[in-house]
Amino acid sequence: MKNPKMKNPEPALPAPEIRQACVTYSQEGNTMGTTPEYETIDVRLEFPLGEKDGPFIVLKTKGWSFDDPKELIALINRTKQVLKTGYNI
């Protein structure tokens, strides 16, 4: 039985913060055959200063190619949306 006069000796723990999140995308290789059969790109969001300061964006690719730079921006935005809402995008 707990003594009502005793305080909890353990301080409350702060909520955990996300420090890194990564989404890997894949697509068929380009039609010229200069990339693997499937191309991949990792879009990693790093929060070295905490979530409040926003992420650094790190890209790692194996042959991923774009026809338009807007496609890259769309992948980055999609990754940020996944982080906000979970998988339901």
**Mean pLDDT across the stretch 20-41?**
86
Higher-confidence position of 89 and 31? 31
pLDDT tens digits, one per residue of 31-73: 777 777 889 999 999 988 877 777 899 999 988 888 899 999 9
pTM above 0.85, yes or no: no
Higher-confidence position of 20 and 35? 20
Handedness of CA 65, 70, 73, 79 (dihedral sign): negative
Distances (CA, A) of 49 to 30, 56, 80: 37, 10, 17
* Residue whose C-alpha is closest to residue 56's, from 15, 21, 89: 21
